[in-house]
């Protein structure tokens, strides 16, 4: 068994002369919640379709739990649940009836245990009490949870969710986020594709950042946060003088506002900044050290902003 749930090598997809996914090397650790992040149109959904064998790569290789795709698809895909743009549910059928119809279409599912497995999936997403309610009466959050339940009708080791909170209100978003966390807590590896930075940041242990078809960053959330250089902020009414002192110490990218001077520390010890400012006669009213946010990092990687609304 591989220590990676998903591994790609040079994965590429071209449509005519356009390269949509450009030689990416994904590495999704077993047991992680991997946030596959990027602006709309960055190649996330096409990548997911190649992982699942729905689209053939132009070049490169895909492995799921060490099994090559699509050659070993029949062996590995029964352990993979996926929600890509969501299944089409029948509005006049109940949640339970919809899942029973989907389960009946699965050649790998055991018909004799269908009712038991459907109810277990409904219970897993918190919809057992609403099992008899017609789908058309479900809220947006309930509909998305039912879609996730459809991917959990048989035991799954990997769950792939493409934009699972897209179009949801704040309550529905919280419901899906909580569900993803509980699934991961039970040992399921979850790959979540999203353009919503705030959602990915709250639920994911690992991140991959796509931009115009390229994977521009990948790693644990903590590692990516540490990638940004620490900045020192000196709060003072003498911002210009403080900025001069900071430059003399060796800080870079020094800038000022009306009541503060900010600069990248680099190898400079933070305590030296305050001491030097006070020695130069700068009245320091406050001092702090921080790192750029994930949003700052992603904007620097992609050159454009992310949708940070939730």
Nearest-Å Rg of the Cα atoms of the chain is 24
Q: Do the beta carbons of residue 202 and residue 47 sit within 8 Å? A: no
Q: Do the beta carbons of residue 250 and residue 267 sit within 8 Å? A: yes
pLDDT of residue 63: 96
Q: Which of 130, 160, 148 is nearest to 64 (CA)?
A: 160
Upper half-sphere CA count for residue 11 (Cβ side, 13 Å)? 30
pLDDT of residue 306: 52
Distance, CA of 238 to CA of 102 (rounded, Å): 68
Tell me which DSSP letter residue 183 carries: H
pLDDT of residue 309: 42
pLDDT of residue 305: 53
Assign a CATH topology to domain 4-226. Answer: Rossmann fold (3.40.50)
Domain ranges, ordered by start, for the chain: 4-226, 229-290
Tell me which DSSP letter residue 229 carries: P
CATH number of the 229-290 domain: 3.30.70.980
Distance, CA of 93 to CA of 293 (rounded, Å): 45
> Within the chain, which residues score under 70 in pLDDT?
1-2, 86, 228, 300-310
Only one residue has tokens 């130069």, namely: 280
pLDDT of residue 96: 96
The stretches of the chain forming alpha helices (DSSP H) are 44-51, 73-76, 95-104, 114-124, 140-150, 170-185, 197-203, 221-227, 239-249, 270-279, 294-302
Largest CA distance in the chain: 82
Q: What is the pTM of this model?
A: 0.78
pLDDT of residue 266: 85
Residue-wise pLDDT for 14-30, tens only, equals: 999 999 999 999 999 99
Q: What is the dihedral of CA 215, 216, 218, 223, to 10 degrees?
A: -170
Which DSSP string do the residues of 108-133 spell out, in sequence order? TS-GGGHHHHHHHHHHHTT-GGGTTS
pLDDT of residue 302: 67
Distance, CA of 301 to CA of 286 (rounded, Å): 31
Which residues, in sequence order, are CB contacts of 175 under 8 Å at separation 6+? 126, 141, 144, 145
């Amino acid at each position: 068994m591989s220590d990676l749930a998903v591994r790609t090598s040079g994965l590429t997809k071209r449509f005519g002369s356009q390269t949509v996914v450009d030689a990416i090397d994904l590495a999704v650790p077993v047991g992680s919640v991997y946030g596959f992040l990027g602006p709309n149109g960055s190649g996330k959904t096409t990548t997911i379709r190649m992982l699942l064998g729905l689209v053939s790569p132009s070049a490169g290789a895909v492995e799921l739990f060490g099994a090559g795709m699509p050659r070993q698809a029949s062996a590995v895909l029964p352990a993979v649940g996926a929600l890509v743009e969501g299944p089409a549910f029948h509005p006049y059928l109940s949640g339970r009836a919809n899942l029973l119809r989907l389960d009946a279409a699965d050649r790998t599912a055991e018909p004799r245990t269908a009712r038991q497995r459907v109810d277990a999936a409904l219970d897993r997403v918190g919809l057992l009490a609403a099992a008899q309610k017609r789908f058309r009466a479900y809220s947006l959050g309930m509909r998305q949870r039912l879609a996730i339940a459809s991917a959990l009708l048989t035991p799954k080791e990997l769950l792939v969710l493409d934009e699972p909170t897209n179009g949801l209100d704040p309550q529905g978003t919280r419901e899906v986020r909580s569900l993803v966390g509980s699934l991961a807590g039970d040992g399921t590896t979850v790959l979540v594709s999203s353009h919503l930075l705030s959602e990915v940041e709250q639920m994911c242990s690992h991140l991959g950042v796509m931009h115009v078809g390229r994977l521009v960053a990948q790693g644990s959330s903590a590692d990516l946060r540490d990638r940004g250089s620490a900045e020192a902020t000196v709060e003072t009414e003498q911002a210009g003088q403080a900025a001069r002192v900071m430059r003399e110490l060796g800080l870079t990218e020094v800038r000022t506002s009306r009541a503060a001077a900010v600069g990248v520390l680099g190898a400079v010890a933070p305590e030296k900044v305050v001491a030097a400012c006070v020695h130069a006669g700068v009245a320091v009213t406050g001092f702090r050290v921080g790192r750029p946010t994930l949003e700052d990092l992603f904007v620097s990687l992609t050159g454009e902003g992310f949708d940070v609304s939730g």
